[in-house]
Chains A and B, each alone.
Chain A
Amino acid sequence: MPDHASGHALSPHRQLQFESYEQQQEAATFGMWAFLITEVLFFGGLFAAYTIYRLKYPAAFQKGSLTLDLYLGGFNTAVLIGSSLTMALAVHAAQTSRQKALVIFLAATLLLGSVFLGVKVIEYGDKFHHHHVPGPDFRWRASDRGPAQLYFSLYFAMTGMHALHMVVGVVVLAVLIVMALRRRFGADYFTPIENFGLYWHFVDIVWIFLFPLLYLIGRHG
């Protein structure tokens, strides 16, 4: 295809529709922020449903919350915060062209993300075991079976959506690690790492809200 953009210096990572590499970087980062806004709205629907049903059935929600394992949830929170740290360090490593550090920090982030998902699998398994999964098999001894099931529905919907975002993140991380091993990133090209960092932090922040709303509401006073 003929290059109509000739006359402008082509930096190796610039795509044709952009006038300059800076413009391309800005567009990518702006696009990521815009995407995260759509994510806020997406989770927002779930948070709205949660708010309404928790206001309607506070007691059932507290009882439901008490069945969750605070230690596993707390552990996972720490793991995720740690992964945010390693991700931030990875971005820094990319910006300063430290190739080895970049690979190590990305791998650490991937590892921590996987640990989180592993713990989630244990927690979900536990719910199956106790028949706390909403649906025909749901068992609840107290009289407020319906509201309790609502709590668990929201628990699964919210943590499930969150976990799905984690899975996507882990897959992208794997791709980024392969690219990093091939030395694709450096001080002149780190937008993908930076933007993925934004995504990863966003997913962490969602958890920072989910943890108290789901795990802690039964445990005060």
Chain B
Amino acid sequence: MQTSHAMAEVPGPAPQALDYLNADYGIRSWLFTIDHKRIAILYLLMITIMFVVGGVFAAAVRLELLTPQGDAFEADTYNKLFTMHGIVMIFFFLIPSIPAVLGNFCLPLMIGARDLAFPRINLLSWYVYMVGAVFGTFAIVAGGVDTGWTFYTPYSTTASQTNVIPAVLAGFIVGFSTILTGLNFIVTVHKMRAPGMTWFRMPLFVWAIYATSLIQMLATPVLAITLLLLVLERGLHIGIFDPALGGDPVLFQHMFWFYSHPAVYIMILPSMGVVSEIVTCFSRKQIFGYTFVAFSSLGIAVIGFLVWGHHLFVSGQSAYAGMLFSLLSFLVAIPSAIKVFNWTATLYKGKISWDTPMLYVFGFIGLFTIGGLTGLFLAALGLDVHLTDTYFVVAHFHYIMVGGAIMGYLGGLHYWWPKITGRLYPEFWAKIAAVNIFIGFNLTFFPQFLLGYLGMPRRYHAYPEEFQVLNVLSTGGAPVLGVGYLLPMVYLIWSMRYGPRASANPWRATGLEWTTPSPPTTHNFEEVPVVTQDAYDYPAMEKKVA
């Protein structure tokens, strides 16, 4: 790709060159923008707020678990805390995080387009998200919800006395924002690629976002109808999920996980895409096995739809269904493993540098591998009977969603930060934060594997004395992790004003986004680029420099 342009620092236009940030001022220019880059910033703002809110709930949960007695909160309050933690983190932070922020910002730039196919729908998706956020906030302020983020029936439809309907509607509404984003990305990738940008020249981040969008488009509507039925059931007692009236609560679990297992890949696939970008750039090597990495994204998207039953091993589905779902769950690990092997092979004999994005990538690879392998423990039918609904499951998915997905998100945020803001962040502090997060994360979540294996169940506010040591370790890790997350918030905001100005391509990366100025202009490219090379031609770039 036109890397040569990026390197040659053109004398440059007058210092006050217009970019997407200073092209227009005032709150209206942001709230009515249809520029994908500005919409990405709007999302960044919201999901950061949500991350803090979800983090506060998490802190409260860990505080309660410091001691065996339920002393900090009542059991009911505790139930609300972990529920709201889950809802906020999953629906309002993690699902939109990479796609709506980094995807929104980078996707058109990476394929050489001036914007997404439907800029107005893009803005609409943000407003839909905001409406969902209003419902979610209402549910919280009005006293909270206590069903768990999974909203299992019949508890959610008959027993719970909390604000189930507003919370469910929040998930329902924010789902539509996801659908709109996914749809927009799919059409953009199909129809907006620059001349010469063939499918197999696309950066792997684009492949990952494309696969994610497929899942968003195909799975989220099922969640929507499921949640709608739930609202009807709770509001009118029509019996769909109520065994007393002939309905079947397990049907809810099937429908919910038909969405929510694919949704876990909505959360991890984009991170995998980020890792592919960073790992090649900071090893100065072509990615190992491009097609394998690209197709493994699609493989995950497809097989991910066939494994939902592994959440129902003890819910009374038939033994044969259980065996089938167990087998399929083992299969879904294969494409993930393919990625890990290819990243590792990319590192092999690479010229590795240890910049912050790369630190996050190393964190990702290690922690995701642990999360994935423990997923296989859980996919084994017999073992799952012992481990299900224990802290082992909690540790498993936090290793993937926090250790994996959020590491990828932060890695990507640092990697593209110079492009997004036109400023460099302070590398020293960034490295401290990355290491801090890695240590804090493991301290918080590794003990939970042991706790779960020893039999501590999840979702209780009190526990037997013998579990205290490990719980104290876990609660002790949480503030370390918290400081780790706080640091980037501080120095990234600081860098927007005081950071040194970034050149167009500070990492000497390939990829069309680096051929635009930092920050890019409103319409991205003066001339639509013509692509003549495969992605990640780092060897050629190294030669040029030498």
As a 0/1 sequence over residues 135 to 166 of chain A, the CB contacts with chain B under 8 angstroms (1 = contact) are: 11000000010110110011001000100000
Tell me if B351 is interfacial: C-beta within 8 Å of chain A. Answer: no
Interface residues of A in 6-39 (CB under 8 A from B): 15-19, 23, 26-27, 30-31, 34-35, 37-39
Report whether A42 and B186 are in contact in the complex, using a CB–CB cutoff of 8 Å. Answer: no
Q: Is the CB of A42 within 8 A of B192?
A: no
B115 adjacent to chain A (CB < 8 Å): yes
> Which stretch (B69-77, B98-106, B264-272, B518-526) binds chain A?
B518-526
Q: Name the B residues within 8 Å of A153 (CB-CB).
A: 232, 238-240
Complex formed: what's the CA distance from A147 to B246 in Å? 6
Which one of B119, B226, B237, B523 contacts A135 once the chains associate, using CB atoms below 8 Å? B237
Would you call B217 and A34 a contact (CB within 8 A)? yes
B119 touches A17 (CB 8 A): yes
Least distance between A135 CB and chain B CB atoms (Å)? 4
Give the residue name and chain of the B residue nearest to A39 (CB): B221
Of A43-51, A72-80, A121-129, A205-213, the one touching chain B: A43-51
Residue in contact with B114 in the complex, picked from A17, A31, A134, A146, CB distance below 8 Å: A17
Interface window among B247-255, B463-471, B490-498: B247-255
Whole-angstrom distance between the Cβ of A105 and the nearest chain B Cβ: 27
Determine the residue in chain B with the shortest Cβ distance to A134.
Answer: B238
Residue A168 CB within 8 A of the other chain = no
Q: Main SS of the interface on chain B?
A: helix
- Chain B residues numbered 199-253 whose CB sits less than 8 Å from any CB in chain A: 217-222, 224-226, 228-229, 232, 236-240, 244-248, 251
Is residue B5 contacting chain A, with contact meaning CB distance below 8 A?
no
Residues of B contacting A5 with CB < 8 Å? Answer: 114, 523
Q: Which residues of A contact B528 (CB under 8 A)?
A: 19
| Distance between A46 CB and nearest chain B CB, rounded to angstroms | 6
A190 interface contact, C-beta 8 A: no
**Are A30 and B191 in contact (CB-based, < 8 A)?**
yes
Instruction: Determine whether A196 belongs to the interface, using a CB cutoff of 8 Å to chain B.
Output: no
For B115, give the chain A residue with the smallest CB separation: A17
Considering only CB atoms and an 8 Å cut-off, how many residues of chain B contact the other chain?
A: 48
User: Does A149 lie within 8 Å of B239, measured CB to CB?
Assistant: yes
Instruction: Kindly list chain B residues whose C-beta atoms are within 8 Å of the C-beta of A136.
Output: 236-237
Q: Check B222–A44 contact: CB distance below 8 A.
A: yes
CB distance from A132 to the nearest CB of B (A): 12
Query: A57 within 8 Å of B by Cβ?
Result: yes
Question: Is A135's CB under 8 angstroms from B238's CB?
Answer: yes
**Closest Cβ–Cβ distance, residue A20 to chain B (whole Å):** 11
Whole-angstrom CA separation of A125 from B521 in the bound complex: 58
> Given the complex, which residues of B lie within 8 Å of A34, measured CB to CB?
183, 186-187, 217
Report the bound CA distance from A30 to B217 in whole Å: 14
Q: How far is the CA of A46 from the CA of B227 in the complex (A)?
A: 12
B28 at the interface (CB under 8 A from A): no
B410 within 8 A of A: no
> Bound complex: CA of A23 vs CA of B528, how far in Å?
14
- Nearest chain A CB to B401 CB, angstrom units: 24
Q: Produce 1/0 per residue, B504-546, CB < 8 A to A.
A: 0000000000000000011101101000000000000000000
Residues A37 and B114 in contact in the complex (CB < 8 Å), given A19-B528, A46-B225: no
Most chain A C-beta atoms within 10 Å of own C-beta, residue among B188, B225, B248:
B225
Complex Cα distance, B305 from A41, in Å, reads 13
Beta-carbon nearest neighbor of A46 in chain B? B225
| CB <8 Å contact, A38 and B187 | no
* B173: interface (CB < 8 Å): no
B170 at the interface (CB under 8 A from A): no
Q: Look across to chain A and name the residue whose beta carbon is closest to the beta carbon of B252.
A: A49
Which B residue sits closest to A33, measured CB to CB?
B187
Residues of A within 8 A of B225 (CB): 42-46, 161
Q: Is A16 within 8 A of B239, CB to CB?
A: no
Q: How far, in whole Å, are A151 and B514 apart by their CA atoms in the complex?
A: 58
Task: Kindly list chain B residues whose C-beta atoms are within 8 Å of the C-beta of A154.
Answer: 240
Neighbouring B residues of A1 by C-beta, 8 Å: 23, 522
Asked if B246 contacts A27 (CB within 8 A), the reply is no
Partner of A27, one of B187, B221, B523: B187
Q: Could you tell me if A16 and B229 are in contact, using CB atoms closer than 8 angstroms?
A: no
In the complex, which residue of chain B has the Cβ closest to the Cβ of A146?
B246
Q: What 0/1 readout, one digit per residue, does chain B (109-144) give for beta carbons within 8 Å of chain A?
A: 000011111110000000000000000000000000
Q: Report B-chain residues with C-beta under 8 Å of the C-beta of A18.
A: 192
Chain A: which residue is nearest B18 at the CB level? Answer: A2
B239 CB contacts on chain A under 8 angstroms: 134, 146, 149-150, 153
The closest CB in chain B to the CB of A149 belongs to B239
Known A34-B217, A38-B221, A53-B247; further 15 A-B contacts with Cβ < 8 A: A16-B114, A16-B523, A17-B108, A30-B190, A31-B183, A31-B187, A37-B218, A38-B179, A41-B219, A45-B255, A46-B225, A135-B237, A135-B238, A150-B247, A157-B228
Residues of chain B whose beta carbon lies under 8 Å from any beta carbon of chain A: 23, 108, 113-119, 179, 183-184, 186-188, 190-192, 217-222, 224-226, 228-229, 232, 236-240, 244-248, 251, 255, 521-523, 525-526, 528
In the assembled complex, 12 residue pairs joining A and B whose CB atoms fall closer than 8 Å, in A order, are A4-B114, A31-B184, A34-B186, A37-B218, A42-B222, A44-B222, A46-B225, A52-B248, A56-B246, A135-B236, A135-B238, A147-B246
Q: 8 closest A-B pairs (Cβ-Cβ)? A: A146-B246, A45-B225, A17-B115, A42-B221, A134-B238, A41-B221, A153-B238, A146-B245
